[in-house]
Structure 1
Amino acid sequence: MTRLLLCGLNARYDHTCLAVRSLAAALDENPIHGLMTKRREWTVNDPLLVLLHRLADEDADIYAFSCYIWNRTLTETLSLELKKIKPGAVVVWGGPEAETQSEAILGRGAADFILTGEGEITLPRLLRCLTEHGRTPPQTALKALPGLIWLSPGTGQLEQNGPPAPLADGSWPFPYRDEDLKQDKEKILYYEASRGCPFGCSYCLSERDRQVRRRPLERVLQELDRLIAADVRLVKFVDRTFNLNPERARQIWRHLIARSRETGARTCFHFELGGDLLEPDDLELLSQAPSGLFQVEIGVQSAHPDVLRAVNRPSRLEVLAWQVGLLRQAGNCHIHLDLIAGLPGETFARFTESLDWVWALRPHQLQLGFLKLLPGTSLWQQARERGWRWLDVPPYEVLETDSIGFSELGRLKQIAELLERYLNVDQSCAFRFAAAHWPRPWQFLDDFSKFCDRRGLFDRALGIEERLRQLWQFVRDSRKLSDPALGQQLDLLRTDFQLMGQMSQPDWLGFWALAAGKPAQNQLRFAVRQAGWPVADSRLRFDRIRLDWDVLLRDGHVKDADFLMVYGRKESKMVLLASGPFEAGLPPYQPK
C-alpha cells in the first residue's frame, strides 16, 4: 500500500486550504488502487521542528504540498529537511509558487516533481504512475503525463510536459466532507463557483488564464445549502469577479437571501466584486439581504485612471464610487475596499490622493496592500526592465519603483498598521470622528502615525484600552477639536470600548453612570422603572452620550443629541441592548 499525505500550510489558524481539500475530494471520487490518502493542515506560524515531526510521524511514501507566496519559504525548508529524515519519500509540489519557480525548486532538491495546471487532473495521473512504477518511473511514463515538470535523472536537464486540458463545465469536486464541515465550521471555508478570469491585470498570475469556466448553477445552490445546513461561520467565494455574469450572481444572492430568511442561519458569505460592474438590480437585491449575510470586497487599487490603465485594469471609477455609496447607504452589507501601493506611475503624493478618495466612500474596512511582483507576470518583466527593486524571496514585495521610494513605502507601512489597528476592527466610530477634524483623512493618518512612531507604538502590540487611550491623547494634544467635540470624542471612545466587548470601566473614559450626580441618577431610575427594565440587574450598564447614535450609524454624521445607551453582559462580553433619546425614555424591556 502506497501512503500519500496531502499537506496544507495556511497563513492563519482559522484559514483552510481549498487546494488540498479539492485534491482529497478528487481522489475520493476516483480512488486509485493501492493508494491510501490522508490530508493534514497546519499554519506557517507552527514551529519548524514540530511540523517536521508531524510529517515524519505520518510515515508517508509521497508528500504533496500546495505552495503559495505565504508558505513557499517554509515549504521549501520542510521539504529539504524531510528528505534528510525520509530519503526514500517522494515530494511533490503544486500551486502558483511551484509552477513559476520550478527550475530553482527542483535544482535545490526541494521537490522531486512539480505539477502545473489543475491538480484534480494532474495529481491522480502522477500517483497512478508512482504506484505502478515506484518512486523512479521510466522517463517514457513521465513524459506521458501532461502538466508534469521534473529533472531527468541522467542529465539533470529540466523536463516539462505541456499543460493538461482544463476541467470542463465546472466539474471540479465539492471539497468538503460532512466530517470536515462539522469539525471546521468556525473556520473560513472557501468555495469556487467559477475558475479563470477574463481580465489581464499585469500584476496577477490570473492574467494567464482568461477562460472563465462556471460550475452549473443548480449544483452551486445545492452545495451552498450544504454549507448553510452545516452552520458554517464564514464562506468566502474565491471567484475572481463574482458578478462578472450579473444575472447568475443575482440568482445566487436571491437563493442565499431566501435561505437566510427561511432558516435564520448565521452563515455569512464573502464575495469579490467588480464595483463598476454592479447594476441597479444588484443594488436593489443586495439592499434586501439580512444584515450580516453578505460581505463584499472591491479592489479599487488606485483612484487614478492612468495608473489603472498602466496595469491593464481599467475601471469606471465614477460608477464604482456611486454604486459603493448606494451599497453603504443600504447599511446591511459589510464593505471592504482595497488599495495597492507601488503601482507604476503612482507617486507618494498621488497615492495619498487615492487613500483620501477611498476613505470618502466610508468602507467598513480599507485594506492598504503593497504591490507583489510575482515571477511570471507581465509587470514583473516590466519592473526588471525599469530597474525597480523588490524582495527576491516571497512575497516579492516591492521595495522601490521609479515613482515611489523605499522610505515613502515605509511611511505607508505605518499607515497600513494604523488602519489595521483602528479602522479595520469591529468598532471604529471614534477613529473616523477624529479624522473628520483634519483637512484631509491622509493628514490625520500621517499626523497620528508620527505620534505613534515617536512613542514606539508600532514596535509592540497594543490592547484595546491602550489603543483607544493613545488615540485620545493624540486628539487632545492636537488641539483641533472644540470642547463640545472633545466631549463627543470621549463618548465615542467609550462606546467603541464597550461595543468591542470590554467589561472594565477605566477612569479616563468618563463613564457617565459612575460620575452622574444624584438628580441624573434619579432620572435614570425613573426611566428604567417606566420601561420595566430590571434596575437591580448587575448585568446591565447605562451610559449617556452627546450625539445621535442612530444618525451616526446610518449616515456617518455626528448630530448633537442626548442619547441613552443600555448595555448588557453576554458570554463575558458587553453588548448594546438598546439606545434612544434620553428624554424619550427607554423602550419596553424585552428579556434576551
Structure 2
Amino acid sequence: MKVVVAALNAKYIHMSLAIRYLKSFCEKDFEIEMAEYTIKDPAMNIVSDLFEKNPDVIGFSCYIWNIAETIKVAGMLKKIKPELKIVFGGPEVSYDTEEWMRKLPQVDFIVMGEGEETFHQLLQEISTTQKYHFVYGLAYRKDEEIILMPGRPKLVLDDIPSPHRFKEDLPSLANRVVYFETSRGCPFSCQFCLSSIEVGVRYFDIERTKRELLYLIESGAKLIKFVDRTFNIKRDYALEIFDFLIKNHGGCVFQFEITADIMRPEVLDFLAENAPPGIFRFEIGVQSTNDTTNELIKRRQNFKKLSRTVTTIKNSGKIDQHLDLIAGLPEEDYDSFKKTFNDVFALRPEELQLGFLKMLRGTGLRNDADKYGYIYMDHAPYEILGNELLPFSDIVRIKRVEDVLEKYWNAHRLDRTMEYLVEHEFSSPFDFFQEFGDFWESRGWQRIGHQLEDLFTRLEQFLTSRRTNHFEGIRGLMKLDYFMNHKYKPRKVWWEERLDKQKHSELLRSIAEQPERVSPAFAELGLGEKDLHKHAMIERLPFDWKTYQETGRFDSTRSTLLLVCYQLQGDQPLVFTVPEEEQIAV
C-alpha cells in the first residue's frame, strides 16, 4: 500500500514537522513518501504532482493557514481517483470534528489530536480488516453515520522515532527552517490558545534531544525553531540545552518561545556571560498588560518581572527579542490596547508583532464568544471582526498601526529616525504609528507596492504634512539610516540636494592625501582617491553629529559632513566625520 503524507506550508522555507513524525512512526510497516507544497502553489499543480505519485492513501496536515487550500486539493483528488483514501489530521480538524466530517464528504477519515499512533493503526486497518472501531482518536463514516472514537492515551515521546534523519532532507537543510520540539504540552491555561487544552507537559529525553540537535547542526541546518510552548518552564532542562547549544552551535541560530516573567536570574546571568551574540532569539508572548483582561483569559503574568527579564536580555546585547501582542482580548478597548502597546514598546524589542485575536476551534474564548459579544470570521483564520468594546472601526485603525509598525520598526529600515520620532515628536509611540498609518491609508499606499526609497519619501511626506518640529534634523537622520541600509554604495538617493560634484571630488582628494585628519582608524584602511570615489559617499547633516550621539538632541548651530565607506569590514558601512577644516573647503 502506497502512502503519501502531505503538507501545504505557508512558505517554501518551512519544513512540516508533523508529516516527518508520521513518516518516522509508520515507515517500519508501510511505504511512506513525504510531499510538501506551499499555499501559493496552484491547486492543479499540487493535484497533478500527488496524482503522479499514485498513492492509495494520502494524509494531509491541517492548520488554520492551509485548511482552505487543502480542502480544495482533496476535493479535486477525490473526483479524479474516488477509491483514494483521504485522511485529514492536525489542530484545525481535531475540534468540531463531526462538523468537518459533515462538510467534507471527500475526506474519509480524520485523525484527532496526537496523530502518530492513530495514523499508524488506521493504515493497518485500511490494509487489512478495516475494523475502524478499533482505532482510538479516529473519526470515520459507517454507512451514513459519523463515528467519533474516544481519544487515546498520550504517547511516551521517546517511543517516537526521530523525524530529523531523512536523507531526502539533507540537500536543502541549510536553506530551510527546521522545526524542533523538546516537549509537548503547556502548563498554562490561556483561553485563546489551543495549547491550554492539553494538561501537563511531557519531555523527550535530554540526551536524545542533544543527539538530534547535534545531527542537524552537523548536517548544515542554519535556523532551528523550537516549537515548545514554554521552553523555559523546566529551568534545569532549558539551562542544559542552552549550554549545549552555546558549545556546539556551529553558526546555527536557535529560536525559542519563552515565558519571560518566570525566567530565573541565574539563567539570565548565564546567557549574558556565555551566549555568543546572535545565535539565540527569544519570542515572548505578552499579549496584554491589562490586568482585568489577563484574569479573564486565565493568563498569569507579572509584567514587572517580564519587563526586567526583557531589559536584562536587551542590555546584554546577545539575544534578539520578538514580543507579541493580541488586539481584541476581553475588556481591552482601543484606549486600553493603546496603553498595552506603549507599555511593551517602551521595552524596545527588536521586533514587536501586533496580531489580532483568532477564535480558534476548541478554545475557551470561542466557546464564550457570546459572553463578550464577539463576531468573527466563519472561516479560517477565524479572526475577530469586533466585540462589545472594540468595534470593527477600531480594529481597522489598529490594523493601520500594524502595517506601518511592520514596515518601519520591525524591518529596521530607519532605526535612528524611529527612535527620535517616538521619543521627541509624538505623544507616544502608538500615536506615531496610528497617525502615520492613517496618513498612509489616506494616500492609498496600501494598494501599491514600495521599494526602499519609497519608505523614506513617504515618511518625509507625512512629516511635511504635519509640520513636524526639527524637520531638517530628522531628514538628516533619515539620510544616515538610508546609507546604513546598503551593503554597497547606493546608486541613487531619495533626496535632491547634494554636494557640488567638483567640491565633492576635491574633498575626496584632500581626504585621500591626509587620511589621518579624519581619524587614525580611517587612515588604517589605506584608501586611495580612486577607492573613495568607488566606495564612499559624503553627505551633510544639518546638526552636530557628536552632540546628537551624546545627548539625542539636535544642535543646529553647527553642521557635520559624514563620510560613509562601503565594502570594507563586514556588511555594515563605516561612518566617519570630516574635520572642520576640511568642511570649510566645501
Q: TM (normalized to structure 2)?
A: 0.89
* CA 1:503–1:485: 2 relative to 1, 3 Å: closer
Between 1:65-74 and 1:429-438, the stretch displaced more is 429-438
Which of 35, 38, 59 lines up with 1:64 in the alignment?
59
What's the offset of the Cα at 1:130?
A: 1.1
Q: For structure 2, which runs of at least 5 residues remain unmatched after alignment?
A: 517-521, 581-586
Q: 1:493 to 1:5 in 2, by over 3 A?
A: same
Per-residue deviation at 1:577?
A: 4.4
CA distance in 1, matches of 2:80, 2:502: 66
Q: Which residue in 2 is equivalent to 1:534?
A: 527
CA distance in 2, matches of 1:240, 1:547: 48
What is the identity percentage for the equivalent residue pairs of Structure 1 and Structure 2? Answer: 30
How far the C-alpha of 1:231 sits from its partner, in A, is 2.3
Structure 1 residues 527, 410: CA separation in 2 closer, same or farther (over 3 Å shift)? same
Contact in 1 for aligned 2:157/2:202 (Cα 8 Å): yes
- In structure 2, do the counterparts of structure 1 residues 364 and 514 end up closer, same or farther at CA, with 3 Å as the change threshold? farther
Q: Which sits farther off after the overlay, 284-293 or 344-353? A: 284-293
Instruction: Tell me how far apart the structure 2 counterparts of residues 144 and 408 of structure 1 sit (CA, whole Å).
Output: 51
1:234 is the counterpart of 2:223: yes
Contact 1:468 / 1:493 at 8 angstroms: preserved in 2?
no
Shift of 1:109: 0.6
1:110 to partner: Cα distance: 3.1
* Conserved 8 A contact 2:453-2:494: no
- Tell me how many residue pairs correspond in the alignment: 563
Q: Which position in structure 2 is the counterpart of 1:127?
A: 123
User: What is the one-letter code of the residue matched to 1:54?
Assistant: D
Q: Deviations over 1:526-576 (max 9, x none)?
A: 227832433323652245666769997xx9957879685644349xx9932
Q: In 2 relative to 1, CA 532–425 (structure 1 residues): closer, same or farther, beyond 3 Å?
A: closer
Letter paired with 2:133: K
Aligned to 1:256: 245
State the distance in 2 between where 1:213 and 1:556 align: 51
Q: Does residue 1:219 correspond to 2:208, yes or no? A: yes
Matched, 1:418 2:404: yes
> Are 2:78 and 1:83 equivalent residues in the alignment?
yes
* Alignment CA distance shift 1:516-1:10 (3 Å): farther
Rate the CA distance shift 1:475–1:565 in 2: closer, same or farther, 3 A: same
How far apart are residue 129 of structure 1 and its match? 1.1
CA deviation digits over 1:257-296, x for unaligned, max 9?
A: 1224xxxx32100001101011211222222322210111
For the Cα contact (< 8 Å) 2:323–2:352, is it kept in 1?
yes
Secondary structure at the aligned position of 2:210 is classed as: helix
Partner of 1:174: 162
Q: Distance in 2 between matches of 1:181 and 1:494?
A: 38
Match of 1:587 in 2: none
Using a 3 Å threshold, how does the CA distance of structure 1 residues 402 and 292 change in structure 2: closer, same or farther?
Answer: same
Paired position in structure 2 for 1:521:
508
Change in Cα spacing, 1:581 to 1:47, as seen in structure 2 (3 Å) is same
Deviations 1:239-272 (A, max 9, x none): 0011111221111111111224xxxx32100001
Structure 2 residue aligned with 1:588: none
Q: Does 1:459 align with 2:447?
A: yes
1:567 and 1:575 in contact (8 A); partners too: no
The one of 277, 285, 288 equivalent to 1:299 is: 285
Q: Does 1:369 align with 2:355?
A: yes
RMSD: 2.8
Cα offsets for 1:375-424 (capped at 9, x unmatched): 21111111134431000110000011111001110111111111111111
1:476 aligns with 2:464: yes
Distance in 1 separating the partners of 2:137 and 2:31:
23
SS at match of 2:248: helix
Partner of 1:376: helix, strand, or coil? Answer: coil
1:434 lines up with 2:427 in the alignment: no
Q: 1:487 to 1:203 in 2, by over 3 A?
A: closer
| Contact kept? 1:488, 1:547, Cα under 8 Å | no
2:179 to 173, 184, 190: 190
- The answer to whether the Cα contact below 8 Å between 1:493 and 1:509 also exists between their aligned partners in 2 is no
Counterpart Cα distance in 1 of 2:267 and 2:503: 49
In structure 2, the residue corresponding to 1:99 is in which secondary structure? coil
Q: Equivalences for 1:261-276 in 2 at 5 Å?
A: 265-276=250-261
Query: How far 1:433 moved relative to its partner?
Result: 2.8
Q: Could you say if the C-alpha distance between residues 106 and 487 of structure 1 is closer, same or farther in structure 2, counting changes exceeding 3 Å?
A: closer
CA pair 316-565 structure 1, distance change in 2 beyond 3 A: farther
- Tell me the equivalent position of 1:408: 394
Q: Is the 8 A contact 1:494 1:509 kept in 2?
A: no
Aligned partners of 1:513 and 1:521 also within 8 Å = no
Contact 2:484 2:573 in 1 (8 A): no
Unaligned runs of 5+ in 1: 585-592
TM alignment of 1:80-119, pairs within 5 A: 80-107=75-102, 108-119=104-115
Deviations 1:288-333 (A, max 9, x none): 3222101111000011121111111120001111111111111221
Q: Is the 8 A contact 2:473 2:554 kept in 1?
A: no
For the Cα contact (< 8 Å) 2:190–2:297, is it kept in 1?
Answer: yes
1:282 to 267, 270, 274: 267
Distance (Å, rounded) in 2 between the aligned partners of 1:12 and 1:502:
32
Does the Cα contact within 8 Å between 1:434 and 1:475 map onto a contact in 2?
A: no
Change (3 A) 1:583 1:451: same
Residues 567 and 213 of structure 1: is their aligned pair in 2 closer, same or farther, counting only changes over 3 Å?
farther
- Distance, in Å, in 1 between the alignment partners of 2:237 and 2:479 is 45
Letter in 2 for 1:266: G
- After the TM superposition, which of the residue ranges 412-421 and 338-347 deviates more from structure 2? 412-421
| Aligned counterparts of 1:197 and 1:509: Cα–Cα separation in 2 | 56
CA contact 1:102–1:114 (8 Å) conserved in 2: yes
**Equivalent residue, structure 1, for 2:566:** 568
Change (3 A) 1:583 1:321: farther
CA displacement 1:26-51 (0-9 Å, x = unmatched): 223xx11xx32110100111112222
Map Cα deviations across residues 88-140 of structure 1 (whole Å, 9 max, x no partner): 1000011011111322222231310111232221111111111124xxx2xxx
CA 1:557–1:248: 2 relative to 1, 3 Å? farther
SS of structure 2 residue aligned to 1:49 = helix
Aligned-residue offset at 1:147: 0.8
Change over 3 Å in CA distance of 1:101–1:567 after alignment to 2: farther
Contact 2:413-2:482 at 8 Å conserved across structures: no
Closer, same or farther in 2 for the Cα pair 1:394/1:412, shift >3 Å? same
SS of 2:94's equivalent in the other structure is helix
Distance in structure 2 (CA, Å) of the matches to 1:515 and 1:293: 46
Counterpart selection for 1:149 from 139, 152, 155: 139
- Report if the CA contact (8 A) 1:195-1:214 is conserved: yes
8 Å CA contact 2:334–2:390 kept in 1: the answer is yes
Aligned to 2:583: none
In structure 1, what residue type is equivalent to 2:5?
Answer: L
Question: What is the distance in 2 between the residues matched to 1:550 and 1:193?
Answer: 50
Question: Is the CA contact (8 Å cut-off) linking 2:21 and 2:162 kept in structure 1?
Answer: yes
Cα displacement (A) at 1:71? 0.7
SS state of the match for residue 339, structure 2? helix
Equivalent-residue separation in structure 2 for 1:513 and 1:102 (angstroms): 71
Structure 1 residues 473-501: Cα deviation after superposition (integer angstroms, max 9, x where no partner): 222333223156334333333234326x6
For 2:340, the aligned partner's letter is S
Please say if residues 62 and 91 of structure 2, whose CA atoms lie closer than 8 Å, have aligned partners that are also in contact.
yes
8 Å Cα contact 1:62/1:90 also seen in 2: yes
SS class of match (2:220):
coil
Looking at structure 1, the residues matched to 551 and 147 of structure 2 have their Cα atoms a distance apart, in angstroms, of 59
- The partner residue of 1:390 within 346, 365, 376 is 376
